[in-house]
């Protein structure tokens, strides 16, 4: 800063820097607050891997967190839009919808060969089933109409 600058000029520069920072923060925070996974989302593989990995207790707790709740609702919406065939008694089950959206099951609830976008050592057991049914996608009590 040169010696001829006035206090008014200094304040304008400070205000401009502060305004630019606030605008940047305003653009970044909403993106972090609602990661909303969807089939075209760049963060989908990470969400799928995190959703299906960990201990039963850990998976049950983390699925209560807003990012996972948002992802579950997006997955249910996606599954319904794509004509997913819900197993009787498991209509709109978020566990089954996430497995489908993540590519771990097909539209009939049958497990895929490659596990889709789910990395790590996943467990497809429902740690805290919302409707009283647990199990693996593609089994008699989860994910589709398999007999």
Question: Domain locations in the chain?
Answer: 38-147
CA distance 121 to 29: 31
Look at 113 and 31; give whichever has higher pLDDT.
113
Mean of pLDDT values over 44-57? 87
Distance of CA 53 to the CA centre of its chain: 13
Q: Where residue 123 falls among pLDDT bands split at 50, 70, 90? A: confident
CA distance 135 to 96: 10
Q: List the end-to-end C-alpha distance of the chain, in Å, as a whole number.
A: 77
Look at 120 and 126; give whichever has higher pLDDT.
120
CA distance 94 to 103: 14
Distance of CA 10 to the CA centre of its chain: 45
CA distance 107 to 138: 11
Q: What is the pLDDT of residues 62-106, one digit of tens each?
A: 888 888 888 899 999 999 999 999 989 889 999 899 999 999 989
Residue 134 has pLDDT above 90, yes or no: no
pLDDT of residue 20: 67
């Amino acid at each position: 800063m040169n010696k001829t600058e006035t206090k008014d000029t200094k304040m304008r520069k400070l205000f401009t820097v502060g305004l630019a920072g606030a605008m940047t923060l305003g653009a970044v925070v909403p993106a972090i607050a609602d990661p909303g996974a969807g089939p075209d989302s760049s963060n989908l593989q990470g969400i799928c891997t995190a959703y299906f990995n960990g201990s039963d207790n850990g998976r049950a707790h983390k699925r209560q967190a807003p990012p996972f709740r948002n992802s579950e609702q997006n997955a249910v919406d996606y599954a319904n839009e794509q004509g997913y065939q819900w197993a009787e008694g498991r209509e709109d089950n978020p566990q089954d919808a996430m497995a489908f959206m993540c590519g771990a099951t097909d539209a009939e609830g049958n497990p895929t060969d490659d596990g889709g976008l789910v990395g790590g050592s996943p467990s497809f057991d429902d740690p805290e089933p919302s409707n009283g049914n647990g199990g693996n996608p593609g089994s008699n009590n989860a994910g589709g109409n398999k007999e």
